[in-house]
Amino acid sequence: MLDTIFNPWIVAVALNTVLLAIVWFAPKKLLTLAGILHAWVLGVLIWGTLGWQGYVIVAFYFLVGSGVTRIGMAEKEAAGIAEKRSGARGPENVWGSALTAAICAVGVLVVDFLGQPQAAVSLLLLAYVASFSTKLSDTCASEVGKAYGQRTFLITTLQPVARGTEGAVSLEGTLAGIVASVAIALLGWGVGLMNLTGVLLCVISAFIATNLESLIGATLQSRFTWLTNEVVNILNTAIGACVAVLFALVVS
């Protein structure tokens, strides 16, 4: 009976229902209604496959990312460079940020079911944390840069450009992105998803992927209508996850 009650999937359904109900009734709208429904699916999937350790990572990303998005919101809205809906996340934001992580989580479930070596699970867990380390780095770099960047430069030419320009980088944003990637990578280590080497790999891969994302924004995004911010976010997190895994295979 107790095994049924505390089945991770049942816990996942109950926990996410309660937490996302709180989010919906909170004064500040962090998610749209559709965003809440999709976040519920994501949350259930992550808890059911990776337990509380994996869930802590996605929760940390969501809370910090939402908070950073609201930094200097009035000024960013006046300049026309703020996130739409005053930062409230919709389904496209949920999956743009977490599709790579969700695939990694499902991968862990499949690998466990097939009885594959633990090394495969370790690589998937590293990729999971690296994807969120990359996305939080990108979010913090972008939002802090738009709010506090004293000088912003186009990554391809290093010529000065206005804040919020696609492909723009700033010292303030870059430093914020590095700090964010370190924080979430350390959390991944702290909850036992990876070792200390994984922390370094996540930070390096996040830095590489975040700058490649800026490069994509500066060179390709305006040329292809299908290359929306959400698609770029998926590419960004996928690059971060893959780079971390490649580095892990090289140093192992």
CB contact burial 191-200 (16+ within 10 A = b; e otherwise): bebbeeebbb
Which tokens sit at 127? Answer: 């990729």
pTM for the whole structure:
0.91
Asked whether the beta carbons of 73 and 87 are under 8 A apart, the reply is yes
* Phi, psi for 169 (deg, rounded to 5): -130, 155
pLDDT tens, position by position, 230-246: 999 999 999 999 999 99
The full 3-state SS of 16-74, as one line of letters, equals: HHHHHHHHHHCCCCCECHHHHHHHHHHHHHHHHHHHHHHHHHHHHHHHHHHHHHCCCHH
Q: Which one is predicted more confidently, 84 or 22?
A: 22
pLDDT for 1 beyond 50: no
pLDDT tens, position by position, 163-196: 878 888 999 999 999 999 999 999 999 999 999 9
pLDDT tens, position by position, 119-150: 999 999 999 999 999 999 999 999 998 888 88
For strands 152-154 and 168-170, give the pairing. Answer: antiparallel
